[in-house]
Amino acid sequence: MFDGQFRTQVDATVKPIGRGLARAGVTPDVITCIGLVMSLAAAIAIGAGAFSLGVLLVALTGIPDLLDGAVAKASGRSSVRGAFFDSVADRVTDAMLFAALAFNFASTGEPAWVVLLPVAGYATASWVSYVRAKADALGFDAHVGLVERAERIILLVVGLLFGGAVLVGVLIAIVALNILTAAQRFAAVWSQATDATPTLSARRDERRRRRTPRTESSAATRRAQRAERRRRQAESRRS
């Protein structure tokens, strides 16, 4: 939601910085790697219970996430490979942060259901991402829903700032919002796919009709060839 509403303004803000980094020879992949390293440091801090440091590092990981795209555009290195790397890095970052929280809860003796909350948070977040990725691959639009990655990170930061019951409540909210968003996207794609089904069926029928004359012609040709062979065999026997 935030990404769709504020992406243009954010891109305009970081564009000069991206140009400066591009002139300095910094590549988008390097910035993405820096973000991964910072995310690992944040996960270690969270797992150790240093939530304040973890919040600072999580906030700082947003900077590389903003700048890699700006540098790619400024340097003319925007590519499918870069977008793929950035998307995978986001998933790895999310996994490390939620795993760190689960480790912290387990090491501090929290109840089992609390330990499982970060696991559920990451699992349901993967549903949100997968539905959109699959929809994009099939040519449908799944850019709907209440929360995306930016909202989840903001909620997580808020929970880490307060800790305790607030953090648990935030994780429950993340799980619920992820499920709702995944359901919204699923419904949107389901509707689009249902509307597209007659068109796809018509295309398949058309392909079958185009193949049918060739199939019949091939069968007729084979029958004629077999008849010719039988005629020649009969003539050879008579001779």
Of 138, 141, 127, 140, residue with least CA distance to 181: 127
Q: What share of the chain is helix, strand, coil (3-state, %, to 5)?
A: 90, 0, 10
**Rounded to an integer, what distance in angstroms lies between the CA atom of residue 74 and that of residue 25?**
11
Q: Residue 11, exposed/middle/buried by CB under 10 A (0-12, 13-18, 19+)?
A: middle
Asked if residues 47 and 97 have their Cβ atoms less than 8 Å apart, the reply is no
Residues in the chain: 239
Task: Say what the alpha-carbon torsion angle 33, 38, 40, 44 is, to the nearest 10 degrees.
Answer: 170
Please, are residues 51 and 97 in contact by the beta-carbon 8 Å criterion? Answer: no
The reply to whether 94 belongs to the active site is no
Looking up tokens 């800790």 gives: 163
The active-site residue, picked from 29, 65, 86, 90, is 90
The catalytic residues are 90
